[in-house]
Chains A and B, each alone.
Chain A
Amino acid sequence: MIEVRNVVKRYATKTAVNGLTFTAHPGQVTGFLGPNGAGKSTTMRMIVGLDAPTSGEVLVNGRRYADHAAPLQEIGVLLEARAVHPGRSAVSHLLALARTHGIPRSRVDEVIDLAGLTKVAGKRVGGFSLGMGQRLGIAAALLGDPQVIMLDEPVNGLDPEGVLWVRNLLAGLAAEGRTVLLSSHLMSETALIAEHLVVVGQGRLLADTTVADLIAQTAGGGVKVATSEPGMLRQLLSRPGVMVTSVDAEQLLVDGLSTREIGALAAEYRIPLYQLTEEQVSLEEAFMDLTRDAVEYTATPVLQGAVR
């Protein structure tokens, strides 16, 4: 379990994390989402004590990370892809970390196998591709057989097979009752593995929810109707609490009525319908809505015509 309580991290010129509180529970994958610069990495660094919070506290399995007798057995982390000396081989890197905790050589070989690095174990890490570096980082995270696994953007640079591997691995770890915290700036990818979502923007908590709730919440995207008599249908549907907007010459977007109600009304007045569909707001859009005001780096929209 990871508990982040009222954490503030202030640097000289900016506040990276501003009163953040959330808990990642055992037995599930928690997605830690936010745009770039939202404070995700800073928060993760504070969880393992690399950075000290300006105020507030962070607990891993009930204690400060540094107070554990075997930190690597409490939480395994992948922070940046490269927290490795490029001149060292993958085996030596893992062995050096393992020795600090008296973790046997056999466990090092085990995680190397698990990460699919057996063939390159003796090669210097400097020659690794981004994906191989990422696999090594995940191997290091699993080294101490930890209760909690925390990964910062783990699928960055992985090929599709690697992405699937990470997804299954994390689901398996959560199913074993472990706590998994996974950061990402991509909602679509996170929704595939995570049940619990913590969304942050500019260092603040924007939402602490579940994927299921978020889907339910964002389902109300209205109903799209296509008809040859848009004017008539529009009049028919107009009533308090219902909003009708024209999409184009034949299409209307109706907010406030179900597909069933619209269909029944149209049938009653013999208005032909060509299309009657519930509009789904994608999770990605929901996420964009949530974080719109908190995006730090936005591209300026290109002025229409300016490109010509």
Chain B
Amino acid sequence: MTTMTAPARPVYRLTTRGVLAGEWTKFWSLRSTWITLAVSAFLLVAVGLIAAASFDPADSRGPGSAAGDVVALVLSGSTFGALAVGVLGVLLAAGEYSTGMIRSTLTAVPSRLPVLWSKAAIAGGIAFVVMTAAAFVAFFAGSPLAGDAMATLRLGDDGVLRALFGAGLYLGLVAVFGVALGALVRSSAGGIAILAGLLLIVPTLVMLLPDSWAENITPYLPSNAGSAIMSLTTADTSLGPWTGLAVFAAWVAAALGAAAYRLAKSDA
């Protein structure tokens, strides 16, 4: 008598590494990610170069006029870069909801949270690498353009490497912030509005508060705290580089925590 054996079925397994690989594939297979990422790097470099080329110490209103040194000058584009890279993060997360893709995603990964962690890690990691590279390009191409108007700085000079890698770290965290906001509000438009509001508008609004209040609040706002890592000198009105980055990381962690809570608790 012969025994019937069922045809061998391959053994698949849902793993954290797999979820990471899946998110990696998702990231690179959308045209919009490539475009947003390229725009982010372009803005950081282009604005930096324009600021360096047109810098005039006599003009107190021109581009980069607030910059105290050449590193700050070539990183003038970080505000725009932050907005673009944050939008990238929002689109990655909120796009899942606006297209219905989230249903496929969560059916494959019903434990849910690994999707958020993976998306955040990939957006943050890629933004860090690309934006760090962009910061270096801005520095090497921009410094000569500033010419004699500002003291030349080299990579080995105090704080320069920290500022350039810091730009990458800050912008990487902004991308994660975008992912968190997008996952939290589940809408691209809403996520981008909140992102722009927190990074650009709130700091301006706070300036309208009485001076004593504004002075205490301003350094802790996301963009101000996060940008501290990029400046060579610490002004009285801002946090130290690593303290500032830690404060911004706390903002990001809070947003990510809220997003995780909503993802785990509510119907998809």
Please list the residues of chain A having a beta carbon within 8 angstroms of any beta carbon in chain B: 45, 48-52, 65-66, 68-73, 77, 79-80, 82-89, 92-93, 95-103, 107, 140, 144-145
Smallest beta-carbon distance A224→chain B, Å:
50
- Please tell me if the beta carbons of A92 and B29 are within 8 angstroms of each other in the complex: yes
Smallest beta-carbon distance B121→chain A, Å:
15
- Please tell me if the beta carbons of A82 and B25 are within 8 angstroms of each other in the complex: no
Number of A-B contacts (CB under 8 A): 113
Residues of A within 8 A of B13 (CB): 69-70, 101-102
- Please tell me if the beta carbons of A103 and B12 are within 8 angstroms of each other in the complex: yes
Chain A interface main SS type: loop
Smallest beta-carbon distance B27→chain A, Å:
9
Chain B interface main SS type: helix
Residues of A within 8 A of B12 (CB): 70, 72-73, 101-103, 144
Interface residues as binary, B3-47 with A (CB distance below 8 Å gives 1, 0 otherwise): 000000111111100110111111001111000000000000000
Tell which of B107-115, B127-135, B235-243, B251-259 binds the partner. Answer: B107-115
- Please tell me if the beta carbons of A102 and B25 are within 8 angstroms of each other in the complex: no
- Please tell me if the beta carbons of A89 and B101 are within 8 angstroms of each other in the complex: no
Smallest beta-carbon distance A199→chain B, Å:
25
Expressed in whole angstroms, the Cα–Cα distance for A79 and B32 within the complex equals 26
- Please tell me if the beta carbons of A84 and B104 are within 8 angstroms of each other in the complex: yes
Expressed in whole angstroms, the Cα–Cα distance for A82 and B100 within the complex equals 6
Can you name 12 extra interface pairs (CB under 8 A) apart from A70-B14, A82-B99? Answer: A50-B106, A50-B267, A68-B14, A79-B103, A83-B100, A85-B95, A87-B31, A95-B29, A96-B29, A100-B22, A100-B108, A100-B109
Q: List 30 A-B contacts (CB under 8 A).
A: A50-B267, A52-B267, A65-B110, A68-B14, A69-B14, A70-B13, A73-B12, A77-B107, A80-B100, A83-B102, A83-B103, A85-B95, A85-B101, A87-B30, A87-B31, A88-B26, A88-B30, A92-B26, A92-B29, A95-B29, A99-B18, A99-B25, A100-B14, A100-B15, A100-B19, A100-B108, A101-B12, A102-B18, A103-B12, A144-B12
In this assembly, does B215 line the interface, its C-beta being within 8 Å of a C-beta of chain A? no
Partner of B15, one of A49, A85, A102, A140: A102
Please list the residues of chain B having a beta carbon within 8 angstroms of any beta carbon in chain A: 9-15, 18-19, 21-26, 29-32, 95-96, 99-111, 267-268
- Please tell me if the beta carbons of A71 and B22 are within 8 angstroms of each other in the complex: no
- Please tell me if the beta carbons of A97 and B108 are within 8 angstroms of each other in the complex: yes
Chain A's closest residue to B25 (CB) is: A96
Smallest beta-carbon distance B4→chain A, Å:
12
Smallest beta-carbon distance A165→chain B, Å:
22
Residues of B within 8 A of A88 (CB): 26, 29-30
Chain B's closest residue to A73 (CB) is: B12
Residues of B within 8 A of A89 (CB): 29
Smallest beta-carbon distance A275→chain B, Å:
54
- Please tell me if the beta carbons of A92 and B267 are within 8 angstroms of each other in the complex: no
- Please tell me if the beta carbons of A96 and B99 are within 8 angstroms of each other in the complex: no
Residues of A within 8 A of B9 (CB): 73, 145
Chain B's closest residue to A103 (CB) is: B12
Smallest beta-carbon distance B11→chain A, Å:
8
Residues of A within 8 A of B109 (CB): 71, 100
- Please tell me if the beta carbons of B108 and A84 are within 8 angstroms of each other in the complex: no
Residues of B within 8 A of A102 (CB): 12-13, 15, 18
- Please tell me if the beta carbons of B25 and A145 are within 8 angstroms of each other in the complex: no
- Please tell me if the beta carbons of B99 and A85 are within 8 angstroms of each other in the complex: yes
Residues of A within 8 A of B10 (CB): 103, 107, 145
Residues of B within 8 A of A69 (CB): 13-14
The 8 A-B pairs with the shortest beta carbon distances in the complex, nearest first, are: A92-B29, A66-B110, A83-B103, A99-B21, A100-B22, A99-B22, A96-B25, A101-B12
Chain B's closest residue to A50 (CB) is: B268
Residues of B within 8 A of A52 (CB): 267
Residues of B within 8 A of A70 (CB): 11-14
- Please tell me if the beta carbons of A50 and B21 are within 8 angstroms of each other in the complex: no
- Please tell me if the beta carbons of B267 and A51 are within 8 angstroms of each other in the complex: yes
Expressed in whole angstroms, the Cα–Cα distance for A99 and B207 within the complex equals 49
Expressed in whole angstroms, the Cα–Cα distance for A269 and B72 within the complex equals 113
Residues of A within 8 A of B11 (CB): 70
Partner of B99, one of A66, A79, A86, A98: A86
Expressed in whole angstroms, the Cα–Cα distance for A101 and B267 within the complex equals 23
Residues of B within 8 A of A83 (CB): 100-104, 107
Chain A's closest residue to B23 (CB) is: A96
Expressed in whole angstroms, the Cα–Cα distance for A82 and B104 within the complex equals 9
- Please tell me if the beta carbons of A92 and B103 are within 8 angstroms of each other in the complex: no
Partner of B110, one of A49, A73, A87, A107: A49
Residues of A within 8 A of B32 (CB): 87
